[in-house]
Homo-oligomer: A and B are copies of this chain.
Amino acid sequence: MGLGAVAVYSNCDRASRHVRMADEAYAIGSSAPADSYLRIDRLVDAALKSGADAVHPGYGFLAENEGFAAACRDAGLTFIGPTPDAIALMGSKTAARRAAFQAGVPVVPGTEEPFGPDAAEAAIATAAARIGYPLLIKAVAGGGGKGMRVVAAPEDLPGAIRAARSEAGAAFGDPAVYIERRLVRPRHVEVQLLGDLHGTVLPFVERECSIQRRHQKVIEETPSPVVSPALRAQLTGAAAAVARSVGYTNAGTMEFLLDQDGRFYFLEMNTRLQVEHPITEMVTGVDLVTWQIRIARGERLDLDPAAVLTPSGHAIECRIYAEDPDAGFMPSPGRITALRPAAGPWIRDDSGAETGTEVPIFYDPLISKLSAWGADRAQAIARMTRALDEYQVAGIRTTVPFFRWLLRQPAFEAAACHTAYLDELLQQRQGEPFESPGEDDEAAAVVVAALEAFEGAAAVRLKADTTYREGPDGHVAYVASGFSRTRGTAAWKRRARLEGLR
C-alpha cells in the first residue's frame, strides 16, 4: 500500500523480524508483557513520537482492549480495528452473548453476568449447579484457550476458578470469568466479518476450528467439511445480523458451536483479526489486513458479497509451536540453530522465526502459521503433508512431527472431528512418540553425522598443514558470517573438536 511502518519492541524482541522490517522502531520496555506490550501509555507515546497516523494492534496483547483503542482515539491516532464501544461490548463474553440473544441468534446456555475477582465462591457454585456439569470456565477477556478450564464435578470448581483467573489476569490483565454449559462433541465453526464505516457488514465463508488441544486451536480449515450451502447461509446470516445490531466495524470473527444435529449456537466474538486469517485470504483472495486499513481510512467495502461466501478451493492452517510433542507438549524455548521452512506452490508460511532466532519464554510459543491451499480438501491435505515433510528445525523442538501424525489419522481424513476429539485421541496413545524413523533412516543418519564430523576435523587438519598471511594487496582471506551459511564452524569449536578427536 506504500505506507511506512513503525514497530515497537520489548527488550528480548530487539532483533526480531518485525523490528528489522519496519522503517522505524521504538523500545517500549522490558520483556515481560506487563512492562512493554501491555503498556498503553508507552505504545501511544511511541506512535505520537513517530508521527504515525494509525495504529494496528495485531492479534495478541491489547488487540481486544477497549482502553487501548480509546487511548489511540483520544491521542488523535486512527485505531485500525473496531470502536472502543464495540470492543467493550463484544469483547465481554457475557455482553456479547446478550447481544446475540437480542439479535435472535441462539447462544450456549451459561451465566449472564461475569464473576469479578471479588465474586463469592458460593454464588459461583450456585450458578454452576444451575447450568449443570460438565461445564466450562472462561475468561471474559479471553481468547486462544487461555484462562479456560473444563470442570467435571463440583469439587474441582474452586481450583479451576483460581487457575483460570490467574491465567486470565496474566494474559489479558482482567481476571473476570464466566461459566457456560459444555455441549456434547460439538464442532467449532466461525465466521469472519468485515464492516465498514458506512454500515456495510460482509460475512465470509466459515472456518472450521474443531481440532483443539486444551481448548486451543491447532488446525483450522475453510470451508468446513460439514457445512452445506444452506447452513452456510444461515450461519453467516446470523453472524452478520449480530454484527449489524451492534454497529460493528473493521475485522472480527463470530464463533459458533455446531452440535451433532446441525444446530449452531453463538459462542463468543473476537473483536480483532485472528491467527487463522490466512486461510480465509487463500480461498477468497481478499487481503484482510489491507481491508482493515482501508476501512479505517473510511473507504467503502465494495467486495462482492456472494464471492466472499463462495470458497475457491480449500485451505488448511497448522499452528507450529515451539513445544515438544513427545514431552506432553512442554514449551521448548531456546535458540533455533538451524531452520528450513516449507515453501512451494500453494504453501504460505507466516513466520517470524529464522536460523538464529531466540524463542523467548515470555510470549506465546507460536513460531509459524503454515497454510496450504488445494482445489479440494484432499489436495490441500496432500500439500500440507508435503510442506510439513520439508519443515526442519534444530535447537528447539516443534509440533511439526505431531502434525505429520495428525494429518494421517483416519478421523481427520474423514473430517469426523469435534472439539474434544484431539484431547481424547492424545490420551489414548499415552505418550507414544509421534515419529518412528526406520533402520534405513538410522543408518543414513549415522553415516552423515560421521561425515560431518570428519569434514569438520579435516578442515582443521588442513589448517595445520598450511601457512597463511596477509596477501600482498593487504587483502585478508575473509568470509563473513553471511545471511545464510553453508559450511564452516566456529573456529574455537573446531579446534576443540580436533583436540577431542586426537
Contacts and interface: CB of A to CB of B under 8 A. Distances in A.
Contacts of A468: 492, 495-496, 499-500
B394 A338 contact: no
Contacts of A1: 382
A274 B477 CA distance: 43
A429 interface: no
A480 B496 contact: no
A463 B340 contact: no
Contacts of A471: 500
**Which bucket holds chain A's interface residue count?**
35 or more
A350 B355 contact: no
B463 A477 contact: no
Most interface-central of A340, A462, A483 (chain B CB within 10 A): A483
B285 A375 contact: yes
A470 interface: yes
A299 interface: no
Contact of A481 (B344, B476, B488): B488
A487 B486 contact: no
A362 interface: no
Interface stretch (A48-56, A158-166, A256-264, A453-461): A453-461
Contact of A281 (B285, B345, B453, B462): B345
Contacts of A489: 479-481, 488, 490-491
Contacts of A466: 492
Nearest to A290: B379
A40 interface: no
Contacts of A394: 482-483
B285 A459 contact: no
B496 A469 contact: yes
A483 B483 CA distance: 13
Contacts of A483: 338, 340, 392, 394
Contacts of A331: none
A125 to B, nearest CB: 48
A486 B481 contact: yes
B496 A339 contact: no
B285 A490 contact: no
A105 interface: no
Contacts of A470: 499-500
B338 A484 contact: yes
Contact of A485 (B338, B348, B499): B338
A294 to B, nearest CB: 12
Interface in A426-476: 449, 452-453, 455-456, 459-460, 462-463, 466, 468-471, 475-476
A266 to B, nearest CB: 30
A456 B477 contact: no
Contact of A456 (B313, B481, B500): B481
Interface in A351-376: 355-356, 373, 375
A59 to B, nearest CB: 15
B501 A476 contact: yes
A54 B463 CA distance: 50
A200 interface: no
A485 to B, nearest CB: 3
A467 to B, nearest CB: 9
A14 interface: no
Contacts of A456: 478-481
Nearest to A345: B348
Q: Name the residue in A338, A341, A355, A486 with the highest tally of chain B Cβ atoms < 10 Å from its Cβ.
A: A486
A106 to B, nearest CB: 35
Contacts of A355: 482, 484-486
Interface in A293-341: 312-313, 337-341
Contact of A491 (B469, B478, B491): B491
A445 to B, nearest CB: 12
Contact of A312 (B285, B339, B350): B285
A489 B340 CA distance: 20
Interface of A: 1-2, 278, 281, 285-287, 312-313, 337-341, 343-346, 348-350, 355-356, 373, 375, 379, 382, 392, 394, 449, 452-453, 455-456, 459-460, 462-463, 466, 468-471, 475-497, 499-501
Q: Which 8 A-B pairs have the closest CB atoms?
A: A485-B485, A476-B500, A468-B496, A470-B500, A463-B492, A356-B486, A477-B496, A491-B494
